[in-house]
């Protein structure tokens, strides 16, 4: 019996020494052992997909290995996010999503297949972009004051298109109405493209769209930019004031993309990955491509993203509860 106890103790001691070495060896080998899958929980071709593919290319160049983008759309991003949550936390499955899956949709849907505050290791927010209040150029409103006059003259009748319930453009409108004590009509679409199409056709009055989504239409003279939702003017729309400059305080909104991994990512892999993402966003060619489309470089650290996610989680939960916003 004594020999068995001693043998068991010796094996336990050996395991305590060997397991960290095995984990360290696996971390050192990452990402060479197999392809890394970057799950994008939206269809190909959108802003999040574009950001993910730019990052994947940079990571492959900087770290070696193979990085593959896998589009898994559905349920406002929660299907893809749930898939990542269930994956092994070994660095070979990552998530790149807009803010919806991280800080908005969990407050709108009765059940989602993950807990955004507990089930992910947050790596970085590569980019962000303000939304911009736009109207068809055929409309007479040119300023925020004009829009507020219209809202107060015809309360509950002025339409604001969005890409869907709980989208950043929807929440921007709700925050705008809350801060100005006005009320409009929310018209949700299944995606940004149909919302913009009806805006171009003058079928709806206004919309708070992502800058990068409507920038070509603004430059082509088809849509009028009235104000941006950032805390400073957008470099691609330097002549367009912020809402704060136009007298609307507390309505700052940024749409952002973030990278996360299943909870439990080895610290060495997390550092290697976050360092590479931050460096990727400072690559001159990638940086120029993002800035040209109205995206602003953030390149936050894991610690910064974790703290930011909690702030955003609380902020949007408060607005959703106060405004009684639902997924329907």
Question: pLDDT band at residue 22, thresholds of 50, 70 and 90?
Answer: very low
135 and 203 inside one domain: yes
pLDDT for the residue 14: 52
Q: Is residue 48 part of a domain?
A: yes
Per the model's pLDDT, the better-predicted residue between 24 and 237 turns out to be 237
Which domain CATH number covers 199?
Answer: 3.40.190.10
In a domain, 245, yes or no: no
pTM of the model as a whole: 0.88
Give exposure, 164-199, as e/b (b: 16+ Cβ within 10 Å).
Answer: bbbbbbbbbbbbbbeebebebebbbbebbeebbebb
Which residue, 228, 245, 271, sits at the end of a domain? 228
In a domain, 183, yes or no: yes
Q: Which residues constitute the domain of residue 266?
A: 31-128+255-323
Give the mean model confidence (pLDDT) for residues 60-64: 95
Is 233 a domain residue?
no
Average model confidence (pLDDT) for the chain? 92
Per-residue pLDDT of 310-327, as tens digits, reads 999 999 999 999 999 988
**Does 117 fall in a domain?**
yes
What is the Cα–Cα distance from 86 to 80, expressed in whole angstroms? 10
| Same-domain check for residues 124 and 149 | no
Q: Would you tell me how many other CB atoms lie within 10 Å of the CB of residue 256?
A: 25
- Cβ atoms 171, 197 nearer than 8 A: no
| 146 and 102 belong to one structural domain | no
Enclosing H/E stretch for 66: none
Q: What is the CB neighbour count within 10 angstroms for residue 306?
A: 16
Is 290 inside a domain boundary? Answer: yes
By CB atoms closer than 10 A (0-12, 13-18, 19+), residue 317 is middle
Q: Are residues 119 and 150 in the same domain?
A: no
pLDDT band at 19 (very low <50, low <70, confident <90, very high): very low
CA distance 97 to 103: 11
Instruction: Output the pLDDT for position 75.
Output: 87
Model confidence pLDDT, tens digit, residues 155-214:
999 999 998 888 999 999 999 999 999 999 999 998 888 999 999 999 999 999 999 999
pLDDT of 23 higher than 90: no
Torsion of CA 211, 215, 218, 223, to 10 degrees: -60
**Contact by Cβ (8 Å): 255, 210:** yes
- Tell me whether strands 120-136 and 254-262 are parallel, antiparallel or unpaired: antiparallel
Q: Is 6 within the bounds of a domain?
A: no
Residue range 27-38: mean pLDDT, rounded: 92
**Same domain, residue pair 195 and 47:** no
Report the length, in residues, of the chain.
328
> Is-cis flag, bond preceding 31, omega within 30?
yes
Note whether 52 and 140 are same-domain residues: no
**In a shared domain, residues 138 and 92:** no
Q: In this structure, what CATH number is given to the domain that contains residue 37? A: 3.40.190.150
Structure confidence by residue, pLDDT tens digits, 65-84: 999 999 999 888 999 999 99
CA gap 48, 97 in Å, rounded = 6
Domain co-membership, 123 together with 264: yes
Q: What percent of the chain has pLDDT over 90?
A: 84
* Count of C-beta atoms within a 10 Å radius of residue 315: 14
How far lies 213's CA from each of 100, 169, 199, in Å?
Answer: 17, 11, 12
Q: Which tokens go with 158?
A: 């002025």
135 and 114 in a single domain? The answer is no
The answer to whether position 4 is within a domain reads no
Give the residue-averaged pLDDT of 287-299: 95
Q: Both 73 and 159 in a single domain?
A: no
Q: Which of 191, 212, 228 is the last residue of a domain?
A: 228
222 and 152 within one domain: yes
**Structural domain count, the chain:** 2
- The radius of gyration of the chain from alpha carbons, rounded to an integer in Å, stands at 23
Q: For 131-156, what is the mean pLDDT?
A: 97
* Percent of all residues in the chain with a pLDDT value above 70, rounded to a whole number: 92
Q: Quote the pLDDT of residue 191.
A: 83
Q: Please report which helix (H) or strand (E) contains residue 320, including its range.
A: helix 302-323
46 and 119 co-located in one domain: yes
């Amino acid at each position: 019996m004594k020999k068995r106890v001693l043998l068991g103790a010796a094996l336990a001691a050996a395991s305590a020494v060997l397991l960290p070495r095995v984990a360290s060896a696996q971390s050192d080998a990452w990402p060479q052992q197999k392809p890394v899958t970057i799950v994008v929980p939206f269809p190909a071709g959108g802003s999040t997909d574009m950001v993910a593919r730019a990052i994947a290319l940079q990571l492959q160049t900087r770290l070696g290995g193979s990085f593959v983008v896998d589009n898994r759309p559905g349920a406002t991003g929660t299907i893809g996010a749930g898939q990542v949550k269930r994956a092994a936390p070994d660095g070979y499955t990552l998530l790149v999503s807009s803010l919806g899956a991280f800080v908005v949709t969990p407050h709108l849907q009765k059940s989602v297949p993950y807990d955004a505050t507990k089930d992910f290791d947050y790596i970085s927010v590569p980019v962000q972009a303000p939304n911009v209040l736009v109207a068809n150029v055929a409309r007479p409103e040119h300023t925020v004051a004009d829009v507020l006059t219209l809202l107060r003259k015809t309360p509950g009748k002025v339409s604001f298109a969005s890409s869907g319930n709980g989208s950043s453009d929807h929440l921007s409108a709700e925050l705008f109405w809350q801060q100005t004590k006005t009320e409009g009509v929310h018209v949700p679409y299944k995606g940004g493209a149909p919302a913009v199409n009806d805006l171009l056709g003058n079928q709806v009055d206004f919309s708070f769209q992502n800058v990068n989504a409507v920038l070509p239409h603004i430059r082509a003279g088809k849509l009028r930019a009235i104000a941006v939702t950032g805390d400073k003017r957008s470099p691609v729309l330097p002549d367009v004031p912020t809402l704060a400059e136009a007298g609307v305080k507390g309505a700052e909104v940024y749409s952002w993309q973030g990278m996360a991994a299943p909870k439990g990512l080895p610290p060495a892999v997390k550092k290697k990955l976050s360092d590479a993402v931050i460096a990727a966003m400072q690559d001159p060619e990638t940086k120029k491509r993002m800035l040209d489309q109205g995206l602003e470089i953030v390149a936050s650290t894991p610690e910064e993203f974790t703290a930011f996610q909690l702030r955003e989680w609380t902020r949007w939960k408060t607005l959703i509860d106060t405004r009684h916003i639902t997924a329907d």
